[in-house]
């Protein structure tokens, strides 16, 4: 079933220990959509500028991703400049040029209205809520956010959290959102804020799912689940790892009949798998050139390295 994702479609200028790249295609919605496209239909809502060329659109459309909802605006696309030279696990933002994104008001095409899964990628929570309200009948809503919105726009973020079936954040964001707690305690606190389930990502150290009573249809609260990452020879560019995790995770869920605990766990593994591809090359290069066979192979690898 189709996923509607709203978020940034952007250009990234990156420096990592492996090298430098100028203005490669990026953005949360782009990484999410590419990763999810291995599992289900994906429809993107976003805005780009005049620098978004047919070759960029083809990266998405060649994977069957619906770009009807990507609005064209005069000016330049959102452009992020970051460095991972000091620490591969923590991006150092050198510049954020919002450009056309500054005036973004998401509009949902008619043809997207029957989407059953909604993903609110990391954007202004005011916009996340607007999109949610335009899609009242979706079966499931998942979303991401970041430290900036937690620190400076918490009053706008809180109503979004109440709308979410699954919130995906990293461990630092979980700590911020919980008011300084760690681990299990942070997760339990965040669950009281609205999301039915919570995924906390630990970068190279994998991820954990935390459940509430409302996570599954039977109303039974379950123990957390943990997924490793795939061990890689080299991480070339961590940009988009979290969005690709979300795409693999949510794409797999959207491809299944219902959300059982087993589907959730398997989705976590597919999230790890897609995140592992994302970081092997700069930008979207590796996700563009990944095959479904490679996805399945790496899934089996993840099972092998984690199961007794």
Q: Which residues bind its own copies (CB under 8 A)?
A: 183-185, 202, 204-206, 208, 223-226, 228, 231-234, 262, 265-266, 269, 301, 303-308
Q: Which is nearer to its own copies, 107 or 185 (CB)?
A: 185
| Two tokens, residue 72 | 């064209």
CB 229 within 8 A of CB 275: yes
Q: Which is nearer to its own copies, 44 or 235 (CB)?
A: 235
Q: Supply the DSSP string of 182-193, one letter for each residue.
A: -HHHHHHHHHTT
Q: How far is the CB of 132 from its own copies (least distance, A)?
A: 31
Going by the DSSP 8-state scheme, the letter that residue 66 receives in this structure is E
Could you give the CA distance from residue 90 to residue 306 in angstroms, rounded to a whole number? Answer: 26
Q: How far is the CB of 227 from its own copies (least distance, A)?
A: 8
Sign of the CA dihedral 47, 52, 53, 59?
negative
Could you give the CA distance from residue 198 to residue 203 in angstroms, rounded to a whole number? Answer: 16
Q: How far is the CB of 203 from its own copies (least distance, A)?
A: 9
Q: Which is nearer to its own copies, 154 or 226 (CB)?
A: 226
Q: Which is nearer to its own copies, 17 or 194 (CB)?
A: 17
The 8 Å CB, 24+ separation contacts for 172-180 are 172/147, 173/145, 173/146, 173/147, 174/198, 174/200, 176/147, 176/150, 176/151, 177/150
Q: Which is nearer to its own copies, 45 or 88 (CB)?
A: 88
Q: Which is nearer to its own copies, 159 or 261 (CB)?
A: 261
Alpha carbon distances (Å) from 18 to 26, 158, 238: 18, 38, 11
Q: How far is the CB of 102 from its own copies (least distance, A)?
A: 38
Backbone phi and psi for residue 249, each to the nearest 5 degrees, phi listed first:
-60, -55
Q: How far is the CB of 200 from its own copies (least distance, A)?
A: 10
Q: How far is the CB of 258 from its own copies (least distance, A)?
A: 17
């Amino acid at each position: 079933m189709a996923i509607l994702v709203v978020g940034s479609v952007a250009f990234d200028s990156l420096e990592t220990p492996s090298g430098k790249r100028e203005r490669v295609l990026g953005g949360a919605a782009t990484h999410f959509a590419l990763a999810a496209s291995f599992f289900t239909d994906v429809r993107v809502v976003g805005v780009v500028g005049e620098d978004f060329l047919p070759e960029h659109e083809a990266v998405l459309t060649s994977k069957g991703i619906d770009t009807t909802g990507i609005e064209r605006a005069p000016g330049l696309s959102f452009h992020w400049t970051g460095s991972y030279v000091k620490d591969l696990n923590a991006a150092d933002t050198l510049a954020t040029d919002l450009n056309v994104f500054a005036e973004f008001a998401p509009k949902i095409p008619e043809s997207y209205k029957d989407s059953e899964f909604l993903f609110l990628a990391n954007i202004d929570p005011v916009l996340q809520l607007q999109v949610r309200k335009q899609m009242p009948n979706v079966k499931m809503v998942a979303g991401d956010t970041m430290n900036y919105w937690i620190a400076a726009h918490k009053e706008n973020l809180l109503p979004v959290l109440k709308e979410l079936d699954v919130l995906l954040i990293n461990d630092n964001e979980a700590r911020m959102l919980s008011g300084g707690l760690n681990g299990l305690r942070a997760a339990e606190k965040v669950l009281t804020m609205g999301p039915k389930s919570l995924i906390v990502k630990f970068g190279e150290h994998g991820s954990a799912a935390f459940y509430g009573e409302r996570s599954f249809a039977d109303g039974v609260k379950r123990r957390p689940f943990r997924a490793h990452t795939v061990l890689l020879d080299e991480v070339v560019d961590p940009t988009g790892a979290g969005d690709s995790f979300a795409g693999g995770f949510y794409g797999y869920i959207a491809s299944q009949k219902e959300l059982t605990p087993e589907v959730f766990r398997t989705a976590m593994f597919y999230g790890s798998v897609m995140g592992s591809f994302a970081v092997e090359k700069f930008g979207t290069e590796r996700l563009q050139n990944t095959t479904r066979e490679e996805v399945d192979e790496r899934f089996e690898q993840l099972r092998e390295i984690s199961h007794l």
